[in-house]
Amino acid sequence: MKILYFASTPFYVKPNPSFHLMYAMISDLLANGDEIFFIGKENPNLEKHIPEEFANNPMFHYRLTKVSSVGKNKFALRYLNGIKYPFKAAKFVKEYMPQCDVTYIQSGATIPYYVLVAKHYAKRQKILINIQDMFPGSSIASGVMPQKWMQRIFYRIQKIAYRKADKIVGISEDMRDKFLAQDVPYEKTEVILNWFDDKTVHHVDWDNNRYVKKLGMSKDKFYVQYAGTMGYVFDYKIVLEVAELLKGYKDIEIQMIGMGSQKDAFVKAATERGLTNITFLPLEPQEMVSDVYSACSVCYIPLKHGIIGNSVPSKAGLLMECKKAIVTSADAGCKYAEEINSNKIGIACADNDPQAVADAIAYLYNHPEECKEMGERGYMYGHELYSRTYNMKKYIELFQAMCR
């Protein structure tokens, strides 16, 4: 197959889920014998734009468009800047499209404009779009777009992409439900999960764990861990309430690992409340992922109301592979919560019930064998389902079907 890959993010910004998924997809498509025609962004603030192993591969061709960077807190400017890029890149779409069998468009808030450009030059080629965060739904749920008039406008714009694309890939069944609620035909949708890299991620025993040794962690403590971005989808306020409720457990430590737009406010609030059972730690390098996730007793994923469906926490599969029980607070009744509870791989609580979260953590603290069994069940359940191998096979089969 010959695949036009229309990217919405540069390769080298920082290690993040977009980089991880983009790198894995292109690597596996090339390994499958497919030819990639890549259109991407050239950010003047970056030294590297394309991984050398791709740039030196004769089956990988690329064209880059220079873009300027805009601060994350400048929504209007960021959106306008995002609109410019696909139109500036149109000359490369025109060049590559006749050589390709199918077009893959990477997720982004301005994806309707990518679809319009691709559709303009496509003849027989089908167009597949990937949605990681539903826009404007995720922005509304995280509280950064409260204006009703703005919400209506962006919902209408987004429907252009859904209408004109041939296939829409979401990353959960909850997200598929959101597509259907916006009148997308079921047969146009696919669900392919965000994966962990089963070639590199694995459970690390306590005695061999580099993160345990680095921090001098104690076997006598119960570690509740969140590792990731503390951004607008992350509900630090419920973590504060949970920590308050667990203050009486002197050997329960809540580890908050990472950075993000909400980190400073979180640290300030925890300090003001005297919550010494919360420890704030920096992100570790990518090669430490297995050690970090394997070091905790249980993982906690605190989500704001309305996030599920519009987005999905990418760390669930990682935690299952590292044999860790999951405690989460999310929308009551969502399929994400049902998956965790019905398969007994953790405990999912309502996002407005910190007492239930604290009780869940205390229960697992008091029942260490059951906590371990949940982690083992999670591994058995998610080892294949959330793996890179399984989900890239689904992408390759979907591309092949679209080329027929």
- Residue 346, beta-bridge partner list: 326
Structure tokens, 10: 């540069």
Contact (Cβ atoms closer than 8 angstroms) between residue 201 and residue 321: yes
Of 112, 103, 202, residue with least CA distance to 153: 112
Helices (H), 32-110: 52-55, 75-88, 90-96
Residues 199, 22: Cα–Cα separation, whole Å: 16
pLDDT exceeds cutoff 80 at 316: yes
pLDDT band at residue 143 using 50, 70 and 90 as cut-offs: confident
Mean pLDDT, residues 330-334? 92
Mean pLDDT, residues 378-403? 95
**14-70 pLDDT tens trace:** 555 677 889 999 999 999 999 999 999 987 777 778 989 999 999 999 999 988 776
Structure tokens, 392: 């890239």
Give the pLDDT confidence score for residue 98 in this predicted structure: 97
Residues 277, 254: Cα–Cα separation, whole Å: 6
Lowest mean pLDDT among 17-21, 155-159, 305-309: 17-21
User: What is the bridge-based pairing of β-strands 189-191 and 167-170?
Assistant: parallel
**Cis amide bond preceding 44, omega within 30:** no
Higher per-residue pLDDT: 199 or 381: 381
Give the pLDDT confidence score for residue 72 in this predicted structure: 64
Residues 248, 356: Cα–Cα separation, whole Å: 16
Q: How far is CA 45 from CA 13, 66, 123, in A?
A: 9, 11, 36
Higher per-residue pLDDT: 76 or 60: 60
pLDDT band at residue 351 using 50, 70 and 90 as cut-offs: very high
Residues 338, 360: Cα–Cα separation, whole Å: 15
Give the pLDDT confidence score for residue 13 in this predicted structure: 55
Chain-wide mean pLDDT for the chain?
92
Lowest mean pLDDT among 3-17, 80-94, 257-271, 316-330: 3-17
Q: Does the pTM of the predicted model rise above 0.75? A: yes
Give the pLDDT confidence score for residue 48 in this predicted structure: 76
Residues 361, 168: Cα–Cα separation, whole Å: 37
> DSSP string covering 184-237, please?
--GGGEEE----B-TTT-----GGG-HHHHHHT--TTSEEEEEES--STTB-HH
Contact (Cβ atoms closer than 8 angstroms) between residue 117 and residue 108: no
Q: Would you call 37 helix, strand, or coil by DSSP?
A: strand
> DSSP string covering 355-372, please?
HHHHHHHHHHHH-HHHHH
Mean pLDDT, residues 108-134? 95
pLDDT exceeds cutoff 90 at 85: yes
Helices (H), 210-342: 210-215, 236-245, 263-272, 289-295, 316-321, 335-342
Q: How far is CA 38 from CA 21, 133, 253, 286, 343, in A?
A: 15, 22, 45, 25, 40
**Going from the N-terminus, what domains does the chain have, and what CATH number goes with each?**
2-195+387-403 (3.40.50.2000), 206-385 (3.40.50.2000)
pLDDT band at residue 280 using 50, 70 and 90 as cut-offs: very high
**204-255 pLDDT tens trace:** 999 999 999 999 999 999 999 999 889 888 999 999 999 999 999 999 999 9
Structure tokens, 366: 């008091």
Matching residue, tokens 């990477």: 106
pLDDT exceeds cutoff 70 at 71: no
Give the pLDDT confidence score for residue 392 in this predicted structure: 96
Residue 303 Cα to chain centre, angstroms? 13
Mean pLDDT, residues 176-203? 93
Give the pLDDT confidence score for residue 209 in this predicted structure: 97
